A and B are shown apart, each in its own frame.
Chain A
Amino acid sequence: MSAEVVTATPDLTTRPSTLRIILRNPLSRTGVVLLGLVLIALVAAVVIDWVAPDAAWKADLYQLNAAPGTDGHLLGTDSGGRDVLVRLVVATRATMFAGVIALVVAVLLGVPGGLISGYYGGKVDLVLDWLSSLAMSLPSIVVLLAIISSLGTSMWISMTTLGCMMAPAVFRLLRAQVHAVRNELYVDAARVAGLSDARIISRHVLRVVRGPLVLMISVLSGVAITVQTGLDFLGLGDSTTITWGGMLSEGFAAMTLNRVLFIWPGLAMALTVAAFFLVASGARDALQGIDGGSTTAPPAPERIRLTKVPTSQSSATPAEDEVLAVRGLVIGYPSGDGLVEVVHGADLTLRKGRTLGLVGESGSGKSQTAFAVLHLLPRQARLSGGEIWLDGTDLLALPRRERERRVRSAIAYVPQEPMSNLDPTFTIGYQLTEPLRARGVGRKAARERATALLTRTGIRDPERVMASYPHQISGGMAQRVLIAGALSTDPHVLIADEPTTALDVTVQAEILDLLRGLQAEFGMSILLVSHDLGVIADLCDDVAVMREGQVVEAATAENFFAHPRHEYSRMLLAAVPAEHEVRAEYVADRSVRQDAAPREKHS
């Protein structure tokens, strides 16, 4: 028990704060600096309003349209002789305020609506979804113009309207996210733990949706500021408040007299919007890092020192009956600063007409090894050493295309998840005949061959199955179809990666019987990857045990099960539930903390 605790406990490293993660990214760092400038401008605007309320209106009639830098006017003056910089800073306040109004309205409507709709579903969801669709179908600019023309140019009115128009976007996002989270097992667990709905939403649901929400809010703030600026530019804003839009409009009007006047408010707006986007995407990444992204992601592979593995075998050609021989295989993946090795020096030998069981627990590298043989490793994988001999030729010494050709013609593959390996959009018949047709077999011949293969794999009405789509057949049937497909190329090596793990035990027994029968009939050699020692015992002649990227024991099945040599093999075998062990009899009214042996032999 303690072994597991010790080996797998991740080392304690301090987690950096969210802000620090944001600052690590140079782009979001730039965003933070820009946002800082905007905030300084905002504070300055408040101070100016307090100290010298009329500073933005004070006209210097001797300096109309002064160029930037003329005495005391850093950015020059406008056509009324007013200081551009002061006006720009003062305008920050109104522009930001407008954005905040729109955002607050959008969030107040969209967030609770989305949470409730997504979490409860049903009638509430129906009504809210309908309302949001209605709002989304209205052209927002037309609505805005109509509202402004009937209710006046107050910023409050126009921005509240804009907020209402943006709310459906927030609603939709949250609804979809919450919907996905609601079916997670940890939400079920929270319900069983007695948490109220409000608590589940605030603790479990909101945490997951906050990342995308932050990004959405930043996009919408950009939209709000742009729309507000646009309205003021068109002269539809409140003319008594100074905004960037108003300044932009004045700049355009004075274009012939002062060419640079419109640049400043435009620049201010563009940089502010950019700052929001940069900071938000940085924050989203940081939150995602904390949330761990996908919940189903396996733990990262442990970091392994990259050491040169001595080649255990001389590169002599394998013996005649060794159909497939893997020697000193090393597989690594680039990661940060270097290569993480997942398989270090694996040796396997598959003999003609025999079945080799490759045993190991998750992360042992057994599937990686099988994929390397199949030439199916992910693109970023590095085969940094070793040999793969197929029928007396070292595949790794061949050019890529030749290697591919040899593997495809000699080796067939049966995967773990039969259903996800069939394309749901095509019929079984099409998926079985297509590979044959690609090899130049005629349509009719291909169909006949596929039918014969399905019959051979124990499917009683092959015609009906050929006409079916994958969702219309059971998992066991799908695995038979995949085996039939694997056989269609007349392989002499079959690699099956946990072929029965996803199936019920009774179906598993049938599939194992089928593989055994096919092997006897066609004389194939089978490499069976499995973690289930029962399955290995059922089918295999030889066994290889993998642990942490290395083969620790290779033996015949008889020897492996009767006299395991390696300590790890013995540990694995000891973990198999014994056939005749049952729980001790139930004793009613027994006192707790009874020191009876928990399991007893039953014969």
Chain B
Amino acid sequence: MTLLEIEDLVVRYPGRGGARGRTFTAVDGVSLDVRPHETVGLVGESGSGKTTIGRAVLGLAPVTSGRIRYDGREIHALARAGRRELSSRIQVVFQDPYTSLNPAMTVEEILVEPLRAAGWSRGAARDRVVDLLEQVALPRGAADRYAREFSGGQRQRVAIARALALEPELVVCDEPLSALDLSTQDRVLQLLIDIQERTGVAYLFVSHDIALVRQISHRVAVLQQGRLVEFGSCAQVTTTPAHTFTADLLLASPVADPARQRERRAQRQARRDRVTSPTSPITVSHTPDPGRVP
């Protein structure tokens, strides 16, 4: 059973200086799926289309072709009204906790908003806020404060609480940790995992950092220039990658151990020297794209 199914998704943006009508293809024929209670990690470099896929699922990016099905229903061409019905089922946590929370609103106003929009009574919404703050380990007193009075990690907790308000089945996490300090990152990551264990929510976890993705994902999809190069179980993709690009990503991501890092540098050097003779076994699972292999 799948919760979210993306099939052959293409997202194109019209180019600037329109006479030639040059379009920019952000996502190029990507297919993947997310099962209930599962985390699927989307990894790639800047411009790989990972964020665009998340935004397409949320209805914030135009779908040029392909299909997005949620719980068996096609959602890629929904009008605003249909989208609003989905708001209780699909939610989002954005990258930047500084711009994703309205600075002029208190935490309570921020958290009550989606509840009121979904028709909750004022009293019930208030009670839910207490609940939510507890879930993300913020003190009760936080409700009356403005979001800008909090640190980055705490703001991201508020954003997570807002995403959880309507008890969604799927949360798109768009680089939710990349604006945070290292130690805060670890705590928020653990919080996301705890929430999933508790509530059974599924995550589409978009990140450039394969080391973080590995910690939270059940399955990992690797993207390169809008295309899916590899999609498989977390252990398989991050320990025995099938695609050279995934292996490059893994090797390039530095580890906090000078000796191991020296080893990895040597490995990387060895791979670079081998580039001229691509003898390494490459089995691409989804979209074969041998032309792009360096």
Which A residues are closer than 8 A to B by beta carbons? 1-2, 4-5, 8-10, 12, 184-186, 188-197, 199, 203-204, 207-208, 290-292, 295-299, 361-362, 475, 504-506, 508-509, 512-513, 531-538, 557-558, 561, 571-577, 579, 581-583, 585-586, 588, 590, 592-594, 596, 598-599, 602
Scan B166-188; emit 1 where CB is below 8 A from any A CB, else 0.
Answer: 10000000000000011111110
The answer to whether B148 and A299 have CB atoms under 8 Å apart is: yes
* Most chain A CB inside 10 Å of its own CB: which residue of B103, B105, B184, B233: B103
In the complex, what residues of A have CB within 8 A of residue B150's CB? Answer: 8, 10, 299
CA distance A538 to B268 in the complex (A): 13
CA distance A388 to B202 in the complex (A): 53
The answer to whether A588 and B1 have CB atoms under 8 Å apart is: yes
Closest to A361 in B: B181
CA distance A9 to B80 in the complex (A): 38
The answer to whether A576 and B182 have CB atoms under 8 Å apart is: yes
The answer to whether A362 and B152 have CB atoms under 8 Å apart is: yes
Closest to B137 in A: A1
Scan B255-269; emit 1 where CB is below 8 A from any A CB, else 0.
Answer: 111101100010010
In the complex, what residues of A have CB within 8 A of residue B102's CB? Answer: 184, 186, 204, 207
Scan B91-120; emit 1 where CB is below 8 A from any A CB, else 0.
Answer: 110111011111111000000011001100
Q: Name 4 extra pairs, CB < 8 A, besides A194-B86, A538-B261, A572-B182.
A: A2-B137, A292-B148, A508-B252, A585-B235
CA distance A292 to B87 in the complex (A): 29
In the complex, what residues of A have CB within 8 A of residue B214's CB? Answer: 577, 581-583
In the complex, what residues of A have CB within 8 A of residue B113's CB? Answer: 190, 193, 195, 203
The answer to whether A582 and B148 have CB atoms under 8 Å apart is: no
In the complex, what residues of B have CB within 8 A of residue A506's CB? Answer: 45, 248-249, 252
The answer to whether A193 and B117 have CB atoms under 8 Å apart is: yes
Closest to B197 in A: A598
- Report B37 CB to chain A, min CB distance, Å: 7
Stretch in contact with the other chain, from B64-72, B216-224, B276-284: B216-224
A-B contact pairs, 14 of them (CB 8 A): A4-B183, A8-B154, A12-B141, A184-B99, A193-B162, A196-B117, A296-B99, A361-B183, A534-B256, A561-B258, A579-B257, A579-B260, A581-B215, A598-B190
CA distance A361 to B233 in the complex (A): 33
B287: interface (CB < 8 Å): no
Given the known inter-chain contacts A10-B150, A299-B148, please indicate yes or no for A537 contacting B256, CB distance below 8 A. yes
- Report A548 CB to chain B, min CB distance, Å: 13
In the complex, what residues of A have CB within 8 A of residue B117's CB? Answer: 193-196, 199
Given the known inter-chain contacts A534-B256, A582-B234, please indicate yes or no for A590 contacting B148, CB distance below 8 A. no
Partner of A194, one of B88, B100, B145, B219: B88
B 113-136 contacts with A by CB, 8 A: 113-114, 117-118
In the complex, what residues of A have CB within 8 A of residue B32's CB? Answer: none
The answer to whether B148 and A583 have CB atoms under 8 Å apart is: no
CA distance A208 to B104 in the complex (A): 8
B292: interface (CB < 8 Å): no
In the complex, what residues of B have CB within 8 A of residue A574's CB? Answer: 186
B239: interface (CB < 8 Å): yes
B52: interface (CB < 8 Å): no
In the complex, what residues of A have CB within 8 A of residue B285's CB? Answer: none
CA distance A395 to B56 in the complex (A): 55
Partner of A186, one of B101, B166, B198: B101
Given the known inter-chain contacts A505-B208, A533-B182, please indicate yes or no for A191 contacting B149, CB distance below 8 A. no
CA distance A277 to B145 in the complex (A): 31
In the complex, what residues of B have CB within 8 A of residue A534's CB? Answer: 211, 253-256, 261
CA distance A396 to B98 in the complex (A): 37
The answer to whether A505 and B256 have CB atoms under 8 Å apart is: no
Closest to A505 in B: B252
Given the known inter-chain contacts A195-B117, A583-B216, please indicate yes or no for A577 contacting B211, CB distance below 8 A. yes
- Report B78 CB to chain A, min CB distance, Å: 12
Partner of B208, one of A196, A204, A504, A576: A504
CA distance A576 to B253 in the complex (A): 12
The answer to whether B261 and A583 have CB atoms under 8 Å apart is: no
- Report A195 CB to chain B, min CB distance, Å: 5
Given the known inter-chain contacts A295-B99, A296-B99, A362-B152, please indicate yes or no for A583 contacting B252, CB distance below 8 A. no
The answer to whether B185 and A193 have CB atoms under 8 Å apart is: no
The answer to whether A5 and B183 have CB atoms under 8 Å apart is: no
In the complex, what residues of A have CB within 8 A of residue B98's CB? Answer: 295-296, 298
Given the known inter-chain contacts A185-B99, A504-B45, A534-B253, please indicate yes or no for A575 contacting B182, CB distance below 8 A. yes
In the complex, what residues of A have CB within 8 A of residue B138's CB? Answer: 5
Closest to A541 in B: B258
In the complex, what residues of A have CB within 8 A of residue B18's CB? Answer: none
The answer to whether B198 and A195 have CB atoms under 8 Å apart is: no
The answer to whether B217 and A583 have CB atoms under 8 Å apart is: yes
Closest to B100 in A: A185
The answer to whether A592 and B257 have CB atoms under 8 Å apart is: no
- Report A517 CB to chain B, min CB distance, Å: 12
